[in-house]
A and B are shown apart, each in its own frame.
Chain A
């Protein structure tokens, strides 16, 4: 960083003072323009959540004249957002736990343990990493129907875990492969069995990789749309990402209420993001680049 700054400074010094300032102004103008591009749509919805429907169409750019907190209250009760949010928490807890646990086990085995047919297994998981959800959505739907799971939480939880395993396994495998294997061998020589080697020696070393997977999987599950759209058939089981769409369809004309519902559904994630933003950004970057 330090060397970078000094080289940059040297580069800048070679120009005249006035063009420096011109460049800075131009850059900040662009940066602020894009700041508005990304923030205004969101802020507009938040402001609209506190306006009446008439005010939304009359003064779209203005702040609310009087704060209509009752929009939020009404959206919460008539929209059933408590239920939707609770469902999302259930889905996230179950799917994140499942994906992380199974990916750790399998990723560890595929990275460090002797296995017959490792290449074939890796190939099969690679297939799942490449094909989109659409490739399997139709048979999974009928499979869930035939075993009678369509009307339960499991309809999203089980395929939600299964289809995310390739990603988790490759991420964790890459991570375990980077760990020094002599530590594990030393523990084996001390008489530790394979489970204890994994649990007490290797897993603690993999915590950074694991937390990347948790963050990435959490955001992914929270926002997942097509899978619950197809598999979750009962309204009281819908996650919030889906619930807000049906809420939108039911109250299209009541704009203040819609904006309030949309705001409610995005606030938890936005707060988490603001609190943990470095983890979020690292998680998404690492998740995308490492597989």
Chain B
């Protein structure tokens, strides 16, 4: 009996040793990244879910478990719904705008006309600027006293169009959105440009021989081949739009009177200004869930397209 156990132990030991020799290099290569990732991403991710069931304020030694109270509060939180509506506006306009502008610019430059490098350099420039710089520059553009937007409108005789763009609740969100679109267009543009360079020339050639004019060639041959690129870019902009924070925080901080608050700025305020850590965690979880659903749909869609 004892002998059998010992020998069984030995085989198990041998097996373990054998699979360890096999797996050791892989495990050792993976481990540094995985440990860091586990501590600073996986653990916080679940901790965040846990905190959403408490009313912790960030200071108390004990975290009170309050069950679903935070979730119930979400339903009646008018600021949350207002913020979500702003997110939706942001996602729709902030995706369609750069897509349209980026596409237009890419099509105009796809034949590499004279000055190509200059145009490309300029259109892409905002992509390397930090959100704070973009926010400050555009904050100045909209400045009611010396901003070039109002001064420009006055010079062309449209004085009654001038206003304090960021101070006007009816306009502030769209003003910030325009700045974000200015920054985002260059990204869409270079990706579309690369996509247009990869369009199958033989098909265009064939369509030309078949007598298709430039317009038909573009819509019937070029555009369908771009569908995949368009989807990826649209998905990136769309998903990013649900967690937008930087440029809004810098330009308006969510004001005036919450007119530009999105869910990320609201969650930030709750977490780090009001110290309502429990409720703030619930709010960030809303962002997480929306983003995960959007990403999931996108991945499914792309995999089906690739089949």
- Measuring CB to CB, which residues of chain A are less than 8 angstroms from any residue of chain B? 3-5, 7-8, 10-12, 14, 24, 27-28, 30-31, 34-35, 37-42, 44-45, 56-57, 60-61, 102-103, 105-106, 108-110, 113-116, 121, 124-125, 127-128, 130-143, 158-159, 161-163, 165-166, 169, 194-195, 198, 219, 222-223, 225-226, 229-230, 241-242, 244-245, 248, 255, 258, 262, 265-266, 269-270, 272-274, 277, 280-281, 284-285, 288-289
Q: Which residues of B contact A131 (CB under 8 A)?
A: 45, 288, 291-292
B41 contacts A163, C-beta separation under 8 Å: yes
In the assembled complex, B1 has its CB within 8 A of some CB on chain A: no
CA distance A31 to B214 in the complex (A): 20
A194 to B204, CA, bound (A): 49
Query: Given A121, A281, A288, which contacts B120 in the complex, CB threshold below 8 Å?
Result: A281
Query: Which A residue's beta carbon lies closest to that of B206?
Result: A7
Taking a contact as CB atoms under 8 Å apart, the answer to whether A38 and B182 are in contact is yes
Within 8 A of A (CB), among B4-61: 19, 22-23, 25-27, 29-30, 32-34, 36-37, 39-45, 47-48, 51, 58
B232 touches A289 (CB 8 A): yes
> Which chain B positions have C-beta within 8 A of A5?
111
Q: Which A residues touch B34, using CB under 8 A?
A: 106, 121
Whether A165 pairs with B36 at a CB distance below 8 angstroms is yes
Q: Given the complex, which residues of B lie within 8 Å of A277, measured CB to CB? A: 121, 124
Are A262 and B136 in contact, with the CB atoms below 8 A? yes
Determine if A262 and B137 form an interchain contact, defined as CB atoms under 8 angstroms apart: yes
Query: Which A-B residue pairs are the 6 nearest by beta carbons?
Result: A113-B26, A162-B40, A132-B243, A139-B44, A109-B29, A194-B25
A165 contact set on B, CB distance < 8 A: 33, 36-37, 41
CA distance A116 to B16 in the complex (A): 12
Bound CA span A219–B186, Å? 15
Contacts of B129 in A (CB 8 A): 42, 223, 266, 269-270
User: CA of A56 to CA of B160 in the docked complex: distance in angstroms?
Assistant: 22
B291: A residues at CB distance < 8 A:
130-132, 135
Q: Could you say which residues of chain A place their CB within 8 Å of the CB of B26? A: 109, 113-115
**Is B119 in contact with chain A by the CB < 8 A criterion?**
yes
Is the beta-carbon distance between A226 and B281 smaller than 8 angstroms? no
Give chain A nearest CB distance to B235 CB in angstroms: 11
Contact B128 A244 (CB under 8 A): no
**Chain A CB within 8 A of B132 CB:** yes
Residue of B nearest to A159 (CB): B40
> Which residues of B are at the interface with A, using a C-beta cutoff of 8 A?
19, 22-23, 25-27, 29-30, 32-34, 36-37, 39-45, 47-48, 51, 58, 101, 104-105, 108-109, 111, 113, 115, 118-133, 136-138, 140-141, 145-148, 151, 182, 186-187, 190-191, 194, 201-202, 204-205, 208, 213-214, 217, 229, 232-233, 236, 239, 242-243, 245-246, 249-250, 264, 267-268, 271-272, 277, 280-281, 284-285, 287-288, 291-292, 295-296
* Residues on the B chain within 8 Å of A60, using CB: 146-148, 151
Q: How far is B239's CA from A255's CA once the two chains are assembled, in angstroms?
A: 36
Q: Which residue of B lies closest to A24 (CB)?
A: B113
29 pairs, CB–CB < 8 Å, chain A vs chain B: A5-B111, A34-B101, A34-B119, A39-B125, A44-B140, A105-B29, A105-B32, A113-B26, A114-B23, A121-B34, A127-B42, A130-B291, A132-B288, A132-B291, A134-B243, A135-B284, A135-B291, A136-B48, A158-B40, A159-B40, A162-B39, A162-B40, A165-B33, A223-B130, A242-B132, A277-B121, A281-B124, A285-B194, A288-B233
* Residue numbers in A under 8 Å from B246 (CB-CB): 225-226
A100 to B33, CA, bound (A): 10
> Which residue in B33, B182, B250 is a CB contact (below 8 Å) of A102?
B33
Decide: A56 near B108, CB < 8 A? Known: A35-B122, A165-B37, A169-B33: no
Which one of A7, A30, A198 contacts B108 once the chains associate, using CB atoms below 8 Å? Answer: A30
Provide the residues of chain A in CB contact with B242, threshold 8 Å: 132
Interchain CA distance A130-B37 in the complex, whole Å: 14
Chain A residue, CB-CB nearest to B132: A245
Q: Indicate if the CB atoms of A113 and B25 lie closer than 8 Å.
A: yes
Q: Which residues of A contact B115 (CB under 8 A)?
A: 31
Given contacts A7-B204, A113-B25, 14 further A-B contacts (CB under 8 A): A10-B208, A11-B208, A106-B29, A113-B26, A115-B27, A135-B288, A140-B44, A143-B43, A158-B36, A225-B249, A226-B245, A245-B250, A270-B128, A284-B187
Q: Shortest beta-carbon distance, A95 to chain B, in Å?
A: 12
A38 touching B186 by the CB < 8 A rule?
Answer: yes
Q: Which residues of B contact A124 (CB under 8 A)?
A: 37, 42
| Neighbouring B residues of A24 by C-beta, 8 Å | 113
Chain B residues with CB under 8 Å of A288's CB are: 187, 191, 232-233, 236
- Determine if A273 and B125 form an interchain contact, defined as CB atoms under 8 angstroms apart: yes
Contact B130 A31 (CB under 8 A): no
CB contacts (< 8 Å) of A108 on chain B: these are: 29
Residue in chain A with minimal CB distance to B45:
A136
Instruction: A133 to B19: give the CA distance in the assembly, Å.
Output: 37
Q: Which residues of A contact B280 (CB under 8 A)?
A: 138
Q: What distance in Å separates the Cβ of B141 from its nearest Cβ neighbour in chain A?
A: 6
A140 to B42, CA, bound (A): 10
Q: Are the C-beta atoms of B130 and A42 separated by less than 8 Å? A: no
A38 / chain B contacts, CB cutoff of 8 Å: 122-123, 125-126, 182, 186
Which residues from chain A contact B295 at a C-beta distance below 8 Å?
Answer: 130
Question: Given A3, A135, A219, A281, which contacts B48 in the complex, CB threshold below 8 Å?
Answer: A135
